[in-house]
Amino acid sequence: MRKNEGTSKSKNPNLRTIEMLGKMAYYYDRIDDRWRTISYRKAITALKRQTDYIATREQAIGIPGIGERLASKVEEIACTNKLRRLESTVTDPNDRILLLFMGIYQVGLPTASRWIAQGHQSLEDLKAKADLTPNQKIGLDHYNDFLSRIPRSEVMAHAEIVRRACSNADAQIQLVVGGSYRRGSADCGDIDLIITKESASLEQIRTILVDTVIPQLFQDGFLQVGLATSRSRSTDRGSKWHGASALPGSQVWRRIDLLFVPWDEFGAALIYFTGNDIFNRSIRLLASRKKMRLNQHGLYGDIMRGEKRERITQGKLLEGRSEERIFDILGVPWRPPEHRIC
């Protein structure tokens, strides 16, 4: 829960190491290796806080957030100016094809590996010969669009179009741009729009969006396609709309998520959909240490857990509506979104 204002590029003496570890984190993220991705990202955050150059394993181990294995990598980069593991990921042809295939929207390691085992080696192979789901087909057709980062100003332009359509349907609807945009990123992987209305239930908000706003945005030529979600958990059902949008006159498709949030859950949803993911993990862990539970719906108290930390009681809702109140009840200082980069 420490303040984080990102890197001051001119000052940090570990920029080269951070850059190499960042490439590895990106690689592990693309191959769905959650644990390695998180440990690399934690090490990067820790190094960004250092004011001295970290050259040895011993120095690195002394820093909270850097474990033994990562410490060896830090030393390797400092000594050799490179990382063997990174080079092997770049040169191994199977790794390269795996990364290529996993770059397709919603394609994970199992699907990408299956395609390789079936003998496919390029996107052209997949287009011509592979058995693709409708989403995979869209992902493949818009491979570069969905993989490229979206400049902040463009995220704003997409959000404004949705905001206008919402106001036309119901003047009381509120829309907040969440995700990396709310954390101040210069560019974003997708457009996360958190939508609510004072005193309204999920059902009421979803009805306005699904019956009026979304059809209107399709008719205007802004929304291009809806993307079915197979991964959504049962609790998420009906609270999200995933798709793609394009600005007037542009051929570029962007990934856009509309997140329908009941008014009573607005604060908890703001925290969750602002992230980043590691910040969310740590604030949830903090809640659980204080015998509370935080999720995208609210902060709950009186939670009883068993020996393996499994929940015995659901607990009672302490706060859902106000982001500030949730921080307050958790006993941590308010963090503006730009400081939630872990």
User: Residue 327 binds which one of ligand DCT, Mg ion, none, with CB within 5 to 8 A depending on kind?
Assistant: none
User: Residue 89 binds which one of ligand DCT, Mg ion, none, with CB within 5 to 8 A depending on kind?
Assistant: none
Counting beta carbons within 10 angstroms of the beta carbon of residue 316, is it exposed (0 to 12), middle (13 to 18) or buried (19 or more)?
exposed
Pick one of 189, 226, 301, 315: the residue that binds ligand DCT (CB under 6 A): 189
How does 178-194 read in b/e, with b if 16+ C-beta sit within 10 Å? bbbbbbebeebebbbbb
For Mg ion, which stretch binds (CB under 5 A), given 21-29, 101-109, 185-193, 224-232?
185-193
* Cross-strand pairs, 245: 223, 254
Whether 247 and 223 have beta carbons less than 8 Å apart is answered as no
Residue 148 C-beta: closest distance to ligand DCT, Å: 11
Distances (CA, A) of 16 to 3, 25, 28, 56: 23, 14, 19, 14
Counting beta carbons within 10 angstroms of the beta carbon of residue 171, is it exposed (0 to 12), middle (13 to 18) or buried (19 or more)?
exposed
Candidates 9, 23, 48, 73; catalytic one: 73
Tell me: does residue 273 bind ligand DCT (CB under 6 A): yes
Nearer to Mg ion, 190 or 319 (CB): 190
User: Residue 184 binds which one of Mg ion, ligand DCT, none, with CB within 5 to 8 A depending on kind?
Assistant: none
Q: Determine the Cα–Cα distance for residues 132 and 125; give it in Å rounded to an integer.
A: 12
Tell me: does residue 337 bind ligand DCT (CB under 6 A): no
**Owner of token pair 């040895």:** 56
> Hey, which residues between 219 and 248 contact ligand DCT (CB under 6 A)?
none
Give the DSSP letter of residue 71: H
Three-class secondary structure of residue 189 per DSSP:
coil
Residue 35 C-beta: closest distance to Mg ion, Å: 21
> Hey, which residues between 188 and 217 contact Mg ion (CB under 5 A)?
190, 192
Peptide bond into 94 cis (omega under 30): no
Q: Angle of helix 109-117 relative to helix 93-102, nearest 10 degrees?
A: 130
Tell me: does residue 282 bind ligand DCT (CB under 6 A): no
Residue 266 C-beta: closest distance to ligand DCT, Å: 15
Tell me: does residue 276 bind ligand DCT (CB under 6 A): yes
Tell me: does residue 180 bind ligand DCT (CB under 6 A): yes
For ligand DCT, which stretch binds (CB under 6 A), given 9-17, 122-130, 270-278, 298-306?
270-278
For Mg ion, which stretch binds (CB under 5 A), given 86-94, 179-187, 206-214, 260-268?
179-187
> Quick check: is 73 catalytic?
yes
Tell me: does residue 265 bind ligand DCT (CB under 6 A): no
Tell me: does residue 32 bind ligand DCT (CB under 6 A): no
Tell me: does residue 196 bind ligand DCT (CB under 6 A): no
Structure tokens at 183: 């954390």
Q: Determine the Cα–Cα distance for residues 291 and 46; give it in Å rounded to an integer.
A: 28
Counting beta carbons within 10 angstroms of the beta carbon of residue 11, is it exposed (0 to 12), middle (13 to 18) or buried (19 or more)?
exposed
Tally Cβ neighbours within 10 Å of residue 238.
12
Nearer to ligand DCT, 65 or 189 (CB): 189
For Mg ion, which stretch binds (CB under 5 A), given 35-43, 176-184, 215-223, 224-232?
176-184
Catalytic residues: 73
Residues interacting with ligand DCT, by CB under 6 A? 179-180, 185, 188-190, 192, 272-273, 275-277, 280
Residues interacting with Mg ion, by CB under 5 A? 179, 190, 192
